[in-house]
Amino acid sequence: MIKSKNIKKTLSVSFTALLAFSLISPVYGDSSSTSSAGASTISAKVSAKLNQQFSNSEYVTYLVKLKDQVDTESVAKHALQKASAEQISPAAAKLSVRTTVVNSLMDTAEKTQQPVEEYLKKEVNNGNVKKYKSYFIVNALAVTSTKEVLDNLATLPEVDKILPDEKRELQKVEIDKDAQPAAREATAEQAAADTAVTEENAQKSVEESVYKDAVTPSRAEWNISKVKAPQVWAKGIDGKGVVVANLDTGVDYTHPALKRKWRGLNASGQVVNPELSWYDAVNGASLPADTEGHGTHTMGTIVGSDSNGTNEIGVAPGAQWIAVRVFNPDTTDSILLDGGQWILAPVDKSGKKHPELAPDVVNNSWGGGPGLDEWYRPVTKAWRAAQIFPEFSAGNTTWSNPGGAGSVANPANLPEAYATGATDVNNKLASFSLRGPSPYGEVKPEISAPGVNIRSSVPGGVYEGGWNGTSMAGPHTVGLVALLLQAKPSLTVDQLEDVISKTATPLTDSQYRTSPNNGYGYGLIDALAAVNSVLN
């Protein structure tokens, strides 16, 4: 039975109530009691780790989270009810809900952050604050200041918690050079054989003919065929009209498998308003770039294909992509919040937010440690409320997280995230793929996809195989979302999850004897079954 999002809603309310109950209110009285109360308030609100950081540096960057947080799920629900009453189209309703969510977040941040910002501006002039940045996707600010400023912020009644700006690592990917397949350069004879149309095959159905060509080894990678994407292409569904995104190391937009699919290019191949289709939260590059390769590889598995048909590496080659660079190669919480906020509403040169240009689905091939950690939960909740599908890779084993039960990485283990585990060519769970259950008692990952020996695009206009990781598995799920949204654009995030889970091929082994389970989730994604289910 597919898990209900009502369970997630109940959990969300419970945790919200718990946080509200634990808030510390300022105490007022004579000078001695105020001093004592102030120290108590600071201790309750400020992470102990920050005190250690200040012992080594005069200025430290940290996150200030305010008490007033938007219930994006409730805002979206009411906006949808209003849209339904007005009987507008599904596309207009989706945009109305997304815009309402963004406006609610922005209004709350603007009103409640004003006293904090007024204080910070004064301390900038005094030299006690190096810099600060406001966020609305989570009502919070990133501040670089002295310890005195931090202590003063903690006493403000608007402030809930002050947390370290934690360093985050990109999920480690193993690249097996020996496992790389031979180059896919087709000979003239092979190309002629692949494209020849004889009198016999001319009598075949369009679907049979297209599919036969699509799975020719010189075209579709084994993993793309494994999830049955070519059969969906044969139906005329390849993700056209859908926008995908990734939060990663960036993307080499000049790669032949990706360039013509970047939304920042017009029909003539000219760059137009690139800031609305690319955001570099790390280096501020104006055009998409990737020095690490990870983001180019994951994007290739989502949408990649070259113009001559010799490299079909993506599940949804008709979709457009946008991207955010948040790793180089590591990152921090503030950068990830910055990138997640841009996904919700891309920003033009004037600073205006454009929720209408947000992607339909976002790939997150990154994560931290296991266990309960809700720092990114407001972001995933906001994405869902805005009908942006939040796909996360389940995570890979490391020396500090050797795997096993309950090892699935955060944020993939959040109730609002849809997590993908990795399988090999034989549909066996990859040894490195982290397992559930989640800290909330849910099945994790929800789904599985190929993640062993994956060949895709890498910077420099070339292709490379032998990549292993749940980072490689997640993009297959993102591509499937794009296919489903072309087939039925009105599908909600909840409906998309149900379709993908219900139509998956159940997978079990000696450890996981029933399905769904905390290794494979509901099984291997099946693009053909999923798309057929919504078409029917």
Positions marked catalytic: 248, 294, 471
> What is the Cα–Cα distance from 181 to 471, expressed in whole angstroms?
19
Q: Does residue 336 sit in helix, strand or coil?
A: helix
E strands of 154-209, at which residues?
159-164, 167-168, 174-175
The CA–CA distances, whole Å, from 46 to 58, 62, 130, 338, 523 equal: 17, 10, 19, 22, 42
Amino acid identity for residue 288 in this structure: P
> Are 379 and 339 in contact, with CB atoms under 8 Å apart?
no
> What is the Cα–Cα distance from 241 to 233, expressed in whole angstroms?
14
135 torsion bin: left (phi>0), alpha (psi -120 to 50), beta (else): beta
CA 150 from chain centre, in angstroms, equals 31
The number of CA neighbours under 13 Å toward the Cβ of 467 is 25
Distance between first and last Cα of the chain: 21
Dihedral sign (CA 531, 534, 535, 536) = positive
Helix (H) or strand (E) segment spanning residue 485: helix 470-487
> What is the Cα–Cα distance from 273 to 151, expressed in whole angstroms?
42
Amino acid identity for residue 213 in this structure: D
